[in-house]
């Protein structure tokens, strides 16, 4: 850590001090936290999902309903990456901070379940989950894992065991509302927290992007770790434009071990 630039070192130490002193710290994560696990983000030039595809044409509820084959053709490579991904040091650091009582919850915009795989217990999934599938006809819900394997390996579109209609991954597509229970929980956490740490989110997608402002409006501190600017950088106590999977373990070590 001593070889790092002094400004970065100071920011790491300050971030750790804020976490250690907090009574109710909440994490908000976006796609940037999972890129080190091999899952692409959405907006990075050349590698982001939306740099290659038009989201409303491939990832909308309308496409799923009218052209399910088009949706699943687009979704298959992403599902494969998620199916095979493992948590990186950033996910593990957050799970450790929760295990030691420094983090109360993780609010995530991701559908990759990597926080849960890393050991985080209180995870609020704002954009749904890959853990389950729901029938588009009879709404029967199943665990995704038995269906994801054949889909990833052979492109076999999952069908409902009850009525044989197509199963939809329980992720939020364009044109769908956020899951209301998750949204209410996230707002409650944002309003109760005295510290919010944003990791890997450009804070461009509403309404989730407004959660840090709710924390700030109630006197909470804000830490942002992201490789691009956000609209709240000017309001944050700490801003780190460093590699998340490298910086977060350093912060975690300082919080837990001093």
Copy the structure tokens of residue 204: 């461009």
Q: Is the pLDDT of residue 108 over 50?
A: yes
SS3 letters across 170-230:
EECCECCCCCHHHHHHHHHHHHHCCEEEEECCCCCCCCHHHHHHHHHHCCCEEEEECCCCC
Tens of pLDDT, residues 121-141: 999 999 999 899 999 999 999
**Is residue 200 within 8 Å of 222, Cβ to Cβ?**
no
Q: Is the pLDDT of residue 94 over 50?
A: yes
**Is residue 204 within 8 Å of 232, Cβ to Cβ?**
no
Confidence of residue 83 (pLDDT cuts 50, 70, 90): confident
Residues 206 and 257 in one domain: yes
Q: Is the pLDDT of residue 44 over 90?
A: no
Give residue 8's pLDDT.
92
Torsion of CA 222, 200, 16, 248, to 10 degrees: 180
Residues 63 and 16 in one domain: no
Residues 247 and 140 in one domain: no
Q: Is the pLDDT of residue 172 over 50?
A: yes
Query: What CATH code is carried by the domain that includes residue 117?
Result: 3.40.50.1220
Residues 187 and 248 in one domain: yes
Diameter over CA atoms, the chain? 62
Alpha carbons 182 and 124: distance in angstroms, whole number: 6
Alpha carbons 109 and 132: distance in angstroms, whole number: 16
Cis peptide bond prior to 63, omega within 30° of 0: no
Who contacts 5 (Cβ-Cβ below 8 Å, separation ≥6)?
none
Q: Which of the following is catalytic: 115, 127, 159, 221?
A: 127
Query: What CATH code is carried by the domain that includes residue 156?
Result: 3.30.1600.10
Q: Is the pLDDT of residue 105 over 50?
A: yes
Alpha carbons 177 and 207: distance in angstroms, whole number: 11
Give residue 148's pLDDT.
86
Residues 17 and 144 in one domain: no
Residues 118 and 143 in one domain: no
Residues 245 and 218 in one domain: yes
Among 171, 186, 201, residue at a domain's last position = 171
Tens of pLDDT, residues 4-31: 678 999 999 999 999 999 999 999 999 9
Q: Is the pLDDT of residue 55 over 80?
A: no
**Is residue 127 within 8 Å of 171, Cβ to Cβ?**
yes
**Is residue 28 within 8 Å of 198, Cβ to Cβ?**
yes
Q: If you average pLDDT over every residue of the chain, what do you get?
A: 91
**DSSP code of 49?**
H
Active site residue 127: yes
Residues 201 and 253 in one domain: yes
Give percent above pLDDT 70 in the chain.
Answer: 92
Residues 33 and 138 in one domain: no
Residues 193 and 231 in one domain: yes
Residues 210 and 108 in one domain: yes
Q: Residues 194-213: what's their mean pLDDT? A: 95
The boundaries of the domain holding residue 50 are 43-84+131-171
Structural domains in the chain (count):
2
Write down the pTM of the prediction: 0.90
Radius of gyration of the CA atoms of the chain, in A: 19
Confidence of residue 57 (pLDDT cuts 50, 70, 90): confident
């Amino acid at each position: 850590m001593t070889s790092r630039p002094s400004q970065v070192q100071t920011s790491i130490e300050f971030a750790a001090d804020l976490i250690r002193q907090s009574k109710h710290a909440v994490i908000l994560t976006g796609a940037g936290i999972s890129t080190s696990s091999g899952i692409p983000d959405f907006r990075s030039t050349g590698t982001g999902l939306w740099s290659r595809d038009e989201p409303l044409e491939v990832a909308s509820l309308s496409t799923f309903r009218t052209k399910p084959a088009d949706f699943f053709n687009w979704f298959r490579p992403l599902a494969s990456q998620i199916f095979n991904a493992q948590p990186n040091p950033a996910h593990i650091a957050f799970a450790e901070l929760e295990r030691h009582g420094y983090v109360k919850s993780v609010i995530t915009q991701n559908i990759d379940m990597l926080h849960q795989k890393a050991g985080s217990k209180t995870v609020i999934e704002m954009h749904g989950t890959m853990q389950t599938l729901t029938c588009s006809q009879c709404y029967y819900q199943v665990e995704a894992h038995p269906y994801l394997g054949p889909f990833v390996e052979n492109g076999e579109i999952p069908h409902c065991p009850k009525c044989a209609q197509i199963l939809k991954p329980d992720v939020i597509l364009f044109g769908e509302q956020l899951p209301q229970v998750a949204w209410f929980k996230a707002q409650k956490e944002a309003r109760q927290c005295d510290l919010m740490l944003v990791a890997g989110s450009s804070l461009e997608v509403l309404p989730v992007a407004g959660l840090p402002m709710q924390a700030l409006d109630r006197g909470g501190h804000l830490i942002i770790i992201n490789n691009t600017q956000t609209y709240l950088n000017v309001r944050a106590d700490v801003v780190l434009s460093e590699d998340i999977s490298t910086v977060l373990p350093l912060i975690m070590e300082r919080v837990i071990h001093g």
